A and B are shown apart, each in its own frame.
Chain A
Amino acid sequence: MKHIISLLMENESGALSRVAGLFSARAYNIESLTVAPTEDATLSRMTIVTSGSEDVIEQIIKQLNKLVDVVKVLDLNDGRYIERELMLVKVKATGPFREEMKRMSDIFRGRIIDVADGSYTIELTGSGSKLDAFLEALDKAAILETVRTGASGIGRGDRILKI
């Protein structure tokens, strides 16, 4: 099953490679991984999207906790959470596509953030599956380029990951 794991780690050089190295050394799946500093500059927050059986996920959490630089680990799937990802899609905007792409972007609540003669760049945020759905809905021939940030996750209500 897909799991979203959030963690706080010391903002030290090499910290990211310890996490990435752990996943490859132990052959764990990694769908996406995002990392950036938090409001506390000494800490980085990472969101990892992974999948595996319950046993594997349990091991992943334990192994992450074992890394000396990792301060806290939370499996967001243990409770209610929100997941968001940002995607930028460059699409053809010539002929009939020009109207069609604008319409699709509106339907999915995207924003056109760059307009050129032959193309639009659409910005879209949402859960991973919403972004997938948007790409599905577009005419394949219209997609020139896509870039996604990978998911960020946060617990709902008073589920707070902080030290």
Chain B
Amino acid sequence: MDDRTPQISGAEILIRCLQEENVKFVFGYPGGAVLNIYDEIFKQNHFKHVLVRHEQAAVHAADAYSRATGEVGVALVTSGPGATNAVTGIATAYMDSIPMVIISGQVPTPAIGMDAFQEVDMVGITRPCVKHNFLVKDVKDVASTIKKAFYIAASGRPGPVVVDIPKDVTALTAVFDYPKSVEMRSYTPVIKGHSGQIKKAVKLMLEAKRPMVYTGGGVVLGDASEMLVKLVRELGFPITNTLMGLGGYPATDKQFLGMLGMHGTYEANMAMQECDVLVAIGARFDDRVIGNPQHFFNKNRTIIHIDVDPSSISKRVKVDVPIVGHVQSVLAEINELLQADTKRPEAASLKTWWEQIEAWRSRKCLTYAKSTEVIKPQYVVEKLWEVTKGDAFITSDVGQHQMWAAQYYKFDKPRRWINSGGLGTMGVGLPYAMGAQLAHPEAQVACITGEASIQMCIQELSTCKQFHLPVKVVNLNNRYMGMVRQWQEFFYGNRYSESYMDALPDFVKLAEAYGHVGMKIEKPSDVEAALKEAFSPALKERMVFMDFITDQTENVFPMVPNGKGLSEMILAEEL
């Protein structure tokens, strides 16, 4: 490089960096501080810019794009209000460890700290909800910072990284030189697990009499599904997935006990409680998963915990064999050891254990009262699964419908189930569906939502129109913030304080107003036909909003009440 190497603006450098990172979509919204960047976007055709209608949706859509593909999601917002609007999306991605790079505009460097127009301390605001963040103060640092941002976002335990770029930095010029690789002495994520620990784990698994495998989002994010299936089938162990882990193991397989946790199945929760060796993989024993930790400790079991993040290990539950490493690498090593070992778990004990599990399973905890009068929400999800042949990308919002989606849509493949597990953000469903549809234009994408949640990002119907996203919205309309109502029914003496959804719009007309197809379905006998029509070739190119008027009083079962143990579930039949 010499003096004659051409200098280009910070904005152009940024665009070139995104090109180098092979970014295909940038979800964003323009504004003063990012005008230089938008001008460069105008001049390029390497990636597509998806203009959303609210910055929160830009981050959610980029997040879903990442969940559906495994690539780093990218969002771009302006300073001040653009940046603060993005924060909910960033926190949502952070809680679920989604690799993302969020670029925010900032006021010009000399104006920082002057309470300038549209100034907000983005690095300060996002510090607790990002994996890392940067303020780029020098145009010479743009390329190396973007390189680091992508590297940090995707490696180790993934997460969102914010890069805040002042407007003057995007105007000043420098030589573009994209680093080939990154070396950071302060950041060196572990990949390979400790081989001694792995041997110990294999020995324990082979000696187990009542084994149980429990896996979370880490298996999905770490693309370790195939290895997990191999391991679990080889050993004949029962397995459960967390809400974030669904699809990590095929749900239609007989070794799968369903989801565990607060709204998990009876068999999964009981097996968690009663097992003698528990293998936790890419999961973090969170409060919605094991309930009251004290109650969980009432039973003795040996716990093996595989996770890429050391701080997830022994945080809520003490484990016996911690293995820090990338789940894919650790599972590969375990599978190799098993291949070389002729020993297998004692067949007789495993048989007895499975008999016990089948007895729990025979309680059929996921049954619900069928009706010919009123549409049961579970029925809609079951039918959706049938009509889409279990092969759709399903996004959801937050509430009862989310739990029914998780319980009744049987995910056989990873990255098909996209929801906000950690932060529980209402409003993600529609933007998540946009991100998933853009990632897989030919795939069936459905958003299972509720009439309260959908209204939190309803403006995105417009984005769906502009970008021809044929998302199918399955609105389970119970006229209540159902999950809130359920808690009020159980724990607050039926005082339904502010949980009734009054003044609902006519969703059919609303969908039509945005140029989409609207359907209102009020009878159980019409459910299947409506779904078939929505997914028919005739409507393949269209977004369809299906408003299912469902049973107002339906509750989610089983349920482990707050503060109770896993084996203290309330089952539907007990009420």
A contacts, CB < 8 Å to B: 9-10, 13-14, 17-18, 21, 25, 55, 58-59, 62-63, 65-66, 68-71, 163
Instruction: Given the known inter-chain contacts A17-B127, A21-B128, please indicate yes or no for A71 contacting B309, CB distance below 8 A.
Output: no
Q: Collect the chain A residues with CB atoms within 8 Å of residue B314's CB.
A: 55, 58
Complexed CA–CA distance, A21 and B121 (Å): 15
Complexed CA–CA distance, A9 and B185 (Å): 10
Q: Across the interface, do A68 and B132 meet the contact criterion of CB distance under 8 Å?
A: yes
Instruction: Given the known inter-chain contacts A59-B311, A63-B311, please indicate yes or no for A68 contacting B152, CB distance below 8 A.
Output: yes
Q: Across the interface, do A66 and B123 meet the contact criterion of CB distance under 8 Å?
A: no
The residue of chain A having its C-beta at the shortest distance from the C-beta of B156 within the complex is A66
Shortest beta-carbon distance from A5 to chain B in Å? 15
Q: Does B186 contact A (CB under 8 A)?
A: yes
Complexed CA–CA distance, A9 and B187 (Å): 11
The residue of chain B having its C-beta at the shortest distance from the C-beta of A62 within the complex is B311
Q: Across the interface, do A59 and B315 meet the contact criterion of CB distance under 8 Å?
A: yes
Q: Collect the chain B residues with CB atoms within 8 Å of residue A65's CB.
A: 310-311
- Neighbour of A163 across the interface among B131, B184, B185, B309, CB < 8 A: B185
Q: Across the interface, do A14 and B187 meet the contact criterion of CB distance under 8 Å?
A: no
- Neighbour of A25 across the interface among B128, B132, B311, B315, CB < 8 A: B128
**Extra contacts besides A10-B186, A68-B131, A68-B132 (11): CB < 8 Å:** A14-B127, A21-B127, A21-B128, A25-B128, A55-B314, A55-B318, A59-B311, A62-B310, A66-B311, A68-B152, A163-B185
Shortest beta-carbon distance from A108 to chain B in Å? 40
Q: Collect the chain B residues with CB atoms within 8 Å of residue A69's CB.
A: 132, 186
Q: Across the interface, do B124 and A66 meet the contact criterion of CB distance under 8 Å?
A: no
Shortest beta-carbon distance from A93 to chain B in Å? 43
Q: Does B366 contact A (CB under 8 A)?
A: no
- 9 CB-based A-B contacts, threshold 8 Å: A10-B186, A14-B123, A14-B127, A17-B124, A21-B127, A59-B311, A62-B310, A65-B310, A70-B186
Q: Does B135 contact A (CB under 8 A)?
A: yes
Q: Collect the chain A residues with CB atoms within 8 Å of residue B318's CB.
A: 55
The residue among A9, A66, A71 with the most chain B CB atoms within 10 A of its own CB is A66
Kindly identify, within residues 91 to 127 of chain B, every residue whose CB is under 8 Å from any CB belonging to chain A: 123-124, 127
Q: Across the interface, do A14 and B135 meet the contact criterion of CB distance under 8 Å?
A: yes
Q: Collect the chain A residues with CB atoms within 8 Å of residue B123's CB.
A: 14
Q: Collect the chain A residues with CB atoms within 8 Å of residue B186's CB.
A: 9-10, 68-71
The residue of chain B having its C-beta at the shortest distance from the C-beta of A72 within the complex is B186
Complexed CA–CA distance, A6 and B215 (Å): 35
Complexed CA–CA distance, A10 and B186 (Å): 7
Q: Collect the chain A residues with CB atoms within 8 Å of residue B315's CB.
A: 59
Q: Collect the chain B residues with CB atoms within 8 Å of residue A62's CB.
A: 310-311
Complexed CA–CA distance, A13 and B318 (Å): 36
Complexed CA–CA distance, A58 and B128 (Å): 20
Q: Collect the chain B residues with CB atoms within 8 Å of residue A63's CB.
A: 311
Q: Collect the chain A residues with CB atoms within 8 Å of residue B184's CB.
A: 68
Q: Collect the chain A residues with CB atoms within 8 Å of residue B310's CB.
A: 62, 65-66
The residue among A10, A17, A68, A69 with the most chain B CB atoms within 10 A of its own CB is A68
Kindly identify, within residues 271 to 326 of chain B, every residue whose CB is under 8 Å from any CB belonging to chain A: 309-311, 314-315, 318
Mask: chain B, 124-155; 1 = CB below 8 Å from A; 0 = not: 10011001100100000000000000001000
Q: Collect the chain B residues with CB atoms within 8 Å of residue A68's CB.
A: 131-132, 152, 184, 186-187
Complexed CA–CA distance, A63 and B311 (Å): 6
The residue of chain A having its C-beta at the shortest distance from the C-beta of B127 within the complex is A21
Complexed CA–CA distance, A163 and B185 (Å): 9
